[in-house]
Chains A and B, each alone.
Chain A
């Protein structure tokens, strides 16, 4: 390993002096998502090679939904809450949905896989990228094909002497089928998911409080120019993958013989 010269050190010091404070908190740009290490039980069929998408790339109405809970009388700081949440993210999810954390944990640029369900019991394999992570918040960004096109920010902060925990979703349905799904029960499913997640997290700190929810339709217009997003629909692709499982089994058997 080459040792750093004094000039290298001085140059590095100068570079760090001009680097913004948030530099280390953001994911680095990559054209497509890369999954490093697939945990047992996870399916990487709708994440690798996909582009990350934000609220501007989706099809449906743009929603900002905020879920928050007060950790009343809990002796815990926002930093401790977020540290616990990052380390045990999957444990606070309600049953029925699985989160396969990246090997490096919830850190900027890391990609996690998800197994979930859609309205009607449709199984779904997808994932998320960690867009941003600091000591008091982290944000996940969705890939093409995910039900949502957008960001979900998890944060904790002090308000009038109480530690508050919040989930804020800024998203559109990714394609026309998902938009229909949202209107036919998907919104309720999502609200229930984050309500239970926050209650589970609060219970970890010995708190039982009500989750407050607020939903604002930021833009009621559908973005018809993005109707083709349906090509990547992870629900459809996951269903096709399940249906064709016997064919893959026969193919693998034939290769072994």
Chain B
């Protein structure tokens, strides 16, 4: 999944992977939550859980890079960084220090469809967590100096993750080629040029429009008594004024009529790579869940068809994998492979397409369907173990689909997928006219006589 964070935090790499259920027998885990809406429109979800002495706070704002305008790519994420640079009662950087110095952990992340902020703290620091989130929703301090500082940090984040890494640019190029609607037709990290163009006025206007209580979902999970927690939430948040609802984004994505293709010369890469994307459907739809099951069969784990065929049998690639991307708008089905020396990209493509065709022609095996369902069931259940993952997931489902209940219903939606569904979606989406192909080739080393630092 493409997302960018406030800073690198391996602790919170939580994959909201596909989810499954079994109709009867095994114990399932239910998340009992309570929904409350404050007078200013802030939606609040609470989950009381006394199994560990922690409290997780998440706020999901209904804004992401899809809300950006031309010339301001990367802005939603740059703004997210500004949320850590101080507010009326919290100094620049004090947020980090207060959370970590009290035994907690935190981060903020931005993707195309939403921006979230979260803390997990020892349970006796609940007041701190709520205060930190409320103060910056209420009174973000915006200065040119802080903006310049975080512009630099974000540009280094881009260099670290994109410009200084092999294949770093390939994903961005694919995204721009795949989509027609500007909402998704640019990366969340944004371009250097657009990041440079962002101004203090942009930050202030964005804050007023999107960082309003009526455009956010607050989730609290952990070791507290609900009435007391709700009272604290009201006293921290209810006085923050509502703002006019932000304009809705047109997410219409025209049907693709022909294959799209690009090649990338990459000076930092040492082996060719093939990146495929098939334009598909929004998340939380029947076809989306069927494509997730299909992905598990085709490219999930060592038993997958592509791994067995390409890594083991033909020894064509050092790695192959992919996923069905979950988006509020139209998501895509992704597959990528890194080639062994001497292998041709066209042979990789034809091998993958042959395996995709097999999915169109024959039903998958019983064990493959079972694999998809068991794997996703386990991933979902394991995610529910952590208070923080529950807080983040509830916020995301509410902002994405207006459906917090999905946290309990998702298992059934995957369980409902049949072999026929998998065959049907293979025929519907994995077709050549619907395909976007990016081939990355290592660029022959030029002698760095001029010392140019770009590529």
Q: Does B bind A?
A: no
Chain A residues close to B by CB (< 8 Å)? none
Chain B residues close to A by CB (< 8 Å)? none
